A and B are shown apart, each in its own frame.
Chain A
Amino acid sequence: MNDNPSPEQFQDPDVSTTELDEVIHANKDLYDKLNKLPEIEALEAITLEDEEKEDDREKSHLFLEALNNLKDLYTENDLVRYAAWAFVLILVSTSALTVTEYEMFKESVTGDVGETFVFGGDEPNWLDTYFHTFWWSIVTFTTVGYGDVSPETHLGKFLTIIIMLLNFGVVTLLGGAVASVLVAKRLTGDDTLDESKFNGHLVIAGWNSYVPSILKLIDANKDATDEVILVNETDRDIIQRVTTGYERLDIHHIPENFTHESVLRKAFLEKAGAFMILPDNSGLLPHEEPDEDKTVLTCLTAKSISESCNVIAHVLDSETVSHLQRANANEIVIPDEHVPHLLAKHVTDPGVPQFFDDLILQEEKDKGLQEVKIPRSLNGQSHNKISAFYKFKYNWLLVGYAIRKAGFSLDDQMGESGSPLIRSMIKEQLEGAGVNLTSDEHVVVEINPPDNYTIDEKHSALVLR
């Protein structure tokens, strides 16, 4: 058993603060007398001395800190460590040379300086000679080598060899350090973009052979944005080669991993007009397939940065589509989707695939299938009138409409029905689980509608020019 009393037992719970005050008041005179005793003054003096010592300690503390910093620099930096030892060896060699080749260096000082010397007056003394030898060592070490004097004895020559060899290490390390700083800067792509330039711009994540064609088409359409940011880890030289020669486009490159939120933020994604995610071939061998999970992950990251971000994802594997739909991608492009149709049409409707190719691959400016805004004054008019307007005014063929459909809103759908408690609970719980209550606006098309089809401000025309 433990016989030690617990801390609680030491405390007398019956003593109140007023009682303590009473005791102190009753003994006040005694306290005053005690305070006047010389011993107490002596005690106070001791505390003063302590403070002074504390000051000294603080000074030495600063000195120690500086020493520690130097020590850290020495242990962590190869260059500093090597330079320190090289300096020590040069000093040692210089001292030895001064001794072994004293006469020769003394004569050299006399020849160099003339008649008055800093330390020796009329005649150079050993300090003048030592300084001159040190100067000579540095001239030799840095490979400048004026060649005015050279050691004559074997020992002198041997010491000079040490000095000359030390140079290799310092030059190599110094060159390496400079190069590594430059390489690191290049790898991290440390150039930040000027945010004020970007609003409604296009961000393309990933790199593959489609990118140049995409850029070319966007460059050709003068209504499209001219600021493009490419985010991929493909070699900078390749990107630079491909991205030059555009008439309009101002293309920037962020050579980092686009699945990272911080990287996408560098591309000002929250202000982007469109965000295109492509299968990324960066760093892959020709037979390797790009990782489609990266596309889904990037879509999720982009939507977490800005829910309203217009994400256009390109996938090669149709299985990824459902994941992208769940990640709320606005548009999903599957390239092989059209292939069976095109093949079959070659048999059933010859000419249609060729027409399709012509239409899609038309890269000439102001030609082919285009989306154009309908003049506001035509809102509420029927399709046959709009069609006639484009035909007679521009000689364009109106083939259909792109309609911006507002997203579904659960909040609107619920309205005021049911009990407010349940409604607010639904909203609270869904928002808490990260489910957005509205789905994004998306585009649907209406091709060749009946003549009496009326258009509103959500419609834009698809015309063949």
Chain B
Amino acid sequence: MNPTPEQIQKINHFSKVPMDMCKKIASVVKIQECQPKDALLTEGDTGDTMVLVFQGQVEVSKNMMVKTASGLTTSRKPIIRLETTDPPPASDPITEPTVFVVEAPAFGIGEFSLVLDDAIRTAHVHATTSVKYGILTLEDFSNIVKENPAIGGSVYFEVAKSAVQNLATASADISNLTQAFFFALTR
């Protein structure tokens, strides 16, 4: 089953795309369903698909080195949870969130794959409720953009916006880490 053009337009990256274009995008996306704990994206994999989440909650996590009683070890740390509001998840999440939950009518993840053809997934994403999602491949999207270049502008503007935001956060993180590093060294 394909999503409706309205469902596509609810996603932030496609909010400025006219309805008839959304229809074209909807025609290349198939709605699928997955269960809690199923992985949608795996950190470190390369991929050329963007995942469009229409209903449900997902958790984004990253592998990080942490100190435990037995020494240093790598463990997966949750970063954020994303939850749809229109419609809301069909059930409560299987585990209580330990991180901030960001709500949006619907959302896309792995949007950098619409820019790079072998983008490396920078985080792990798994479902915490049952999730209804669709997959938009770079190839399908490129074809639509080739036929209708106007789509590209608004979608790539949103992608660029989130890339710039990520960059700003990353630079603040580097600044925080540098300060913490010097602080720890001088104590």
Contact = CB atoms under 8 A, between A and B. Distances in A.
Contacts of B99: 420-421
B79 A419 contact: yes
A403 to B, nearest CB: 22
Contacts of A413: 179
Contacts of B177: 422, 426
A410 B183 contact: yes
Contacts of A437: 183
B64 interface: yes
A421 B175 contact: no
Interface stretch (A175-183, A348-356, A427-435): A427-435
A117 to B, nearest CB: 82
B179 A421 contact: no
Given A430-B180, A430-B184, A425 B172 contact: no
Given A410-B180, A413-B179, A429-B67, A419 B187 contact: no
Contacts of B176: 414, 417-418, 422-423, 426
B157 interface: no
A326 interface: yes
B77 interface: yes
Contacts of A417: 172, 175-176
Interface in B38-91: 62, 64, 66-67, 77, 79-80
A413 B177 CA distance: 11
Contacts of A423: 176
A408 B180 CA distance: 12
B162 interface: no
Interface residues of B, number: 21
Contact of B169 (A326, A410, A414, A419): A419
Contacts, number: 53
A318 interface: no
A328 B169 contact: no
Contacts of A432: 67
Nearest to A416: B172
A441 to B, nearest CB: 16
Interface in B123-173: 169-170, 172-173
A419 B77 CA distance: 13
Interface string B108-126: 0000000000000000000
A116 interface: no
A439 B183 CA distance: 10
A436 interface: yes
B184 A433 contact: yes
Contacts of A421: 62, 77, 79-80, 99
22 contacts: A408-B183, A410-B180, A410-B183, A414-B176, A417-B176, A418-B175, A419-B169, A419-B172, A420-B100, A421-B99, A422-B176, A422-B177, A426-B176, A426-B177, A429-B66, A430-B183, A430-B184, A432-B67, A433-B67, A433-B184, A435-B183, A436-B187
Given A418-B169, A429-B67, 17 more contacts: A328-B187, A408-B183, A414-B176, A417-B176, A418-B170, A418-B175, A419-B169, A419-B173, A421-B77, A422-B177, A426-B177, A429-B66, A430-B180, A430-B183, A430-B184, A435-B183, A435-B184
Interface of A: 326, 328, 408, 410, 413-414, 417-423, 425-426, 429-430, 432-433, 435-437, 439
- Lowest 9 CB-CB distances: which A-B pairs, in order? A418-B172, A417-B172, A418-B173, A426-B180, A422-B173, A418-B176, A414-B176, A421-B79, A435-B187
